[in-house]
Structure 1
Amino acid sequence: MTMENRYVSHPNDVKVFNTERLREEFLIDSLFATDELVTVYTHVDRFIVGSAVPVTKDIKLEVNLKDIGTDYFLERREIGIINVGSKGVVIVDGMDYEVDAKECLYIGLGVKEVVFKKNGGSQPARFYFNSSPAHKSYPTKKSTQAEATPNHLGSIASSNERTIYKYIHQDGIQSCQLVMGMTELDPGNMWNTMPSHTHNRRSEIYLYFNLPEDGVVFHMMGQPDETRHLVVRNEQAIISPSWSIHSGVGTSNYTFIWGMAGENQTFNDMDAVAMQDLR
């Protein structure tokens, strides 16, 4: 399947985008496809966002080499994979790694073959991944949800009681530049990342999931004084450039995976936006 390309938009241009143009630039609305490798290449920090749902056949992590300019996918890249489906297996240079629901597998620069293996069951694994450029090799490593440094934040009073799970970060799975984790909202809570922030030194990708069929998230984006929104449904992703806030409110609680890449890996390197400054 051909890799989709997304280019970089200047914030001054985004101010005049209509809804359709905003969705074309920042929303990945068709990500998971049975027995296919789906990939989107964004020029925002050279992220590759993708998925694999192996049902009747194994799926190899390979793309048109002209798209990335290397002989194999991880020759100059690293990748973080989180399973949002049933238990599955990822084969890394001939070695099997079992990855259960909400578990993360990191694979570093230099690994030549990655295969998403079919599990033979009626409920397939649904592998979601972020990949960023890398200049140093770190070992393949898996993390369970329990091992992912859970941090409980927020309160029901502000509708943002949630648990943040950090998988790939400075004190967890080591990587070259990729940072990746997951946030689960407790029942009855709807808001994430509000009060909002930007981080001019890193961009971010969000995948929203665990939403009911008729559920939506209103994802807030844009410069703090020029905010916009995108309506996001289950298993759709958002490209969030460094100048944009990235907050959301849903019709019910939900879960989202966040991935970051850029100048540093410092999770708390954020530029807070005061509530009175939002427009």
Structure 2
Amino acid sequence: MDVRFATNPDDARHYGTDELRRRYLVQGMFTPGELRLTYSHQDRVVLGGAVPLAEPLRLGAYDPLRTAYFAERRELAVFCTGGRGTVTADGAEFDLGPRDLVYLGMGTREIALSSADPADPARLYLFSTPAHQAHPAVLVRESDVEGVELGSPDNANVRTLRKYVDGTTVRSCQLMMGYTALAPGSVWNTMPAHTHVRRTECYLYFDLGPDDRVLHLMGRPEESRHLVVADREAVISPSWSMHSGAGTANYSFVWAMAGENYDFADMDHVAMDELR
């Protein structure tokens, strides 16, 4: 488990490209046959990827968490970005197809991840937050979630947003999660940008071609920075940082949040003339 310490904007303004990528970009999560996790001190989230092959991959006890098992004091969502797989939680099996999600509440002791076909393995994205309440496990199909249509062709930002875990479809302690898909010909997401100082948000970009990239905008609005992001790479966005992006082609991204306020609409919007 990789560990990333929290950062503040006064320090971040001095980071060069390599330092920005080292602190905020999460790469190499989807390695065949492995489960790779990153623990961030930004709201103490854990994010990672699993690509099970012939044998299941199991979440264990990790020293940075100092608990007897992974979800002893945590909740977890697993989102399938491709392939088909199964999440087994305390003996209950949840079969996931592309863009399906399973939520597991605090206190789930045994968690295993497997693929239906090792030749075309599941690519499973994991996002976990601290929890103080236990909520039941819920399987959410993409077809269960009504999409919200946003944007316009004139602004190259036509997109469909789906909320999986936000207190409506699934109730959680503090974890929020969903995904947004851009239409062909659209490249911009979340512009105008926003911040939310009560929550950390992470973006996992996927559905990108091998030669496609997203320029992810971050930092204080008056002093922006960018990261060049490839397929199935994630960005940790601290509460003080805006988050937006533009791609070389249309793409999808999983958004996941943790923090003090359990309100999806709690955002501080940034006017275009404030951006620098």
Q: The residue matched to 1:25 in structure 2 has which SS?
A: helix
Aligned with 1:9 (options 7, 10, 13): 7
The yes-or-no answer on 1:39 pairing with 2:75 is no
Aligned with 1:139 (options 136, 140, 150): 136
Give the gaps of 5 or more residues in structure 1: none
Distance in 1, matches of 2:226 and 2:124, equals 27
Instruction: Tell me the residue number matched to 2:105.
Output: 108
Q: The residue matched to 1:67 in structure 2 has which SS?
A: coil
Distance in 1, matches of 2:50 and 2:264, equals 28
Q: State the Cα distance separating 1:62 from its structure 2 match.
A: 1.3
Instruction: Tell me the residue number matched to 2:230.
Output: 233
- Whether the 8 Å CA contact 1:149–1:167 is kept in 2: the answer is no
Seen in structure 2, the aligned counterparts of structure 1 residues 31 and 121 have a Cα distance that, compared at 3 Å, is closer
Matched to 1:179, the amino acid is M
- Whether the 8 Å CA contact 1:52–1:116 is kept in 2: the answer is yes
Q: What is the percentage of aligned positions where both structures have the same residue?
A: 44
Aligned with 1:57 (options 55, 61, 67): 55
Matched to 1:76, the amino acid is R
- Size of the alignment, in residue pairs? 276
Aligned with 1:120 (options 117, 127, 131): 117
Instruction: Tell me the residue number matched to 1:156.
Output: 153
Matched to 2:82, the amino acid is G
Instruction: Tell me the residue number matched to 1:166.
Output: 163
Instruction: Tell me the residue number matched to 2:216.
Output: 219
Aligned with 1:71 (options 65, 68, 72): 68
Distance in 2, matches of 1:63 and 1:69, equals 8
Matched to 1:54, the amino acid is P
Q: State the Cα distance separating 1:150 from its structure 2 match.
A: 1.1
Q: The residue matched to 2:11 in structure 1 has which SS?
A: helix
Q: State the Cα distance separating 1:121 from its structure 2 match.
A: 4.2
Tell me the TM-score normalized by structure 1.
0.97
The yes-or-no answer on 1:98 pairing with 2:98 is no
Aligned with 2:79 (options 82, 97, 103): 82
Distance in 2, matches of 1:120 and 1:84, equals 15
- Whether the 8 Å CA contact 2:4–2:23 is kept in 1: the answer is yes
Distance in 2, matches of 1:63 and 1:183, equals 32
Q: State the Cα distance separating 1:69 from its structure 2 match.
A: 1.1
Q: State the Cα distance separating 1:103 from its structure 2 match.
A: 0.4
Distance in 1, matches of 2:93 and 2:57, equals 14
Distance in 1, matches of 2:178 and 2:262, equals 12
Distance in 1, matches of 2:91 and 2:270, equals 47
Distance in 2, matches of 1:178 and 1:103, equals 17
Distance in 1, matches of 2:162 and 2:61, equals 30
Distance in 2, matches of 1:63 and 1:27, equals 24
Aligned with 1:176 (options 162, 173, 177): 173
- Whether the 8 Å CA contact 2:215–2:245 is kept in 1: the answer is yes
Distance in 1, matches of 2:158 and 2:117, equals 37
RMSD: 0.8
Matched to 2:229, the amino acid is V
Matched to 2:83, the amino acid is S
Instruction: Tell me the residue number matched to 2:28.
Output: 30
Q: State the Cα distance separating 1:23 from its structure 2 match.
A: 0.3
Matched to 1:115, the amino acid is A
Q: Deviations over 1:89-143 (max 9, x none)?
A: 1111011111110001000001100100232342111110100000000000011
Distance in 2, matches of 1:225 and 1:261, equals 24
